[in-house]
Amino acid sequence: MKNKYDIFVKEPYHILNICFAGIIIMIFIYSGIFSVEKNNHPIKSACATVEGHPCKSEGLSRSFSEIVRFRFESAKSFNKHGIKVFLFFLIQFFLRFFISYILYKKSSQLNKIIIADSVFSIVLYIWCFWGIIT
């Protein structure tokens, strides 16, 4: 007989939450490893070369690198939307664990939890990325 934990760890939404949290932690690690001082970010913005002008997301890697070092003014100078975009990932990181915990405790409410999570995540995405997507 399967217990509640066995069913929970095989729940696709829980697996998806773990994958998203893993991707987000890799973004944070990338931001911590590469720095503005060393100018060693391996992923360069291709917008300027492809489109011939800077794009709204240019400087996000450098901005994130400054944010993880608590240099917020410097982060704003690299990309004025950097702090809000970083905040999106930070909130989503903790939200993935919170939602998984809620799913574990109230698995009978799966559809309501998924809808609430989706609506909140969409609203948060629009708020945090508005300057970049418009």
Tens of pLDDT, residues 100-125: 888 888 777 888 988 999 999 999 99
- pTM listed for this prediction: 0.84
The sign of the CA dihedral 97, 124, 25, 14 is positive
* 23 pLDDT more than 80: yes
Cβ(17)–Cβ(100) under 8 Å? yes
Cβ(69)–Cβ(42) under 8 Å? no
Weakest-pLDDT range from 12-21, 65-74, 84-93, 103-112:
103-112
Q: What is the pLDDT averaged over residues 23-30?
A: 96
The sign of the CA dihedral 115, 101, 9, 1 is negative
Residues spanned by the domain of 90: 4-133
pLDDT at 7: 61
Counted domains in the chain: 1
